[in-house]
Amino acid sequence: MDVRELGAKPRARARRRQPQARKVGASTKVAKLNISFPPDVAKQVLRAAERTTKGNLSAWLLEAARNELRRDAGMQLVVEWEAERGRPFSKEELAESSKRLGW
């Protein structure tokens, strides 16, 4: 049965939009994104934002994204370092790195 037979309008096919930069204030540009989470994850994210950024979800997501991007960049450096040397980091090198980073 077609949705039109039920009196409903067929939904248009969803198109993915590219983030559009918008000016906020005098000089800051931001891209507005539409995101979705499963309900259980959404609750956890909102609780975390409440604890760490006084409920500012955008600030919490920005920090989470920056942390993930830094982690990803660091992992890429490890892959490149190991490829250049043809070997993985030794236990000693990992220990020294952890010491320097304060881990």
pTM > 0.95: yes or no: no
Q: How far apart are CA 69 and CA 20, in angstroms?
A: 20
56-93 pLDDT, tens digit per residue, is 999 999 999 999 999 999 999 999 999 999 999 999 99
Q: Computed over its alpha carbons, how large is the radius of gyration of the chain?
A: 22
Distance (Å, whole) CA 10 – CA 2: 9
For residue 97 the two structure tokens come to 């790195």
Burial letters for 59-79: b for 16+ Cβ neighbours within 10 Å, e otherwise? Answer: ebbeeeeeeeeeeeeeeeeee
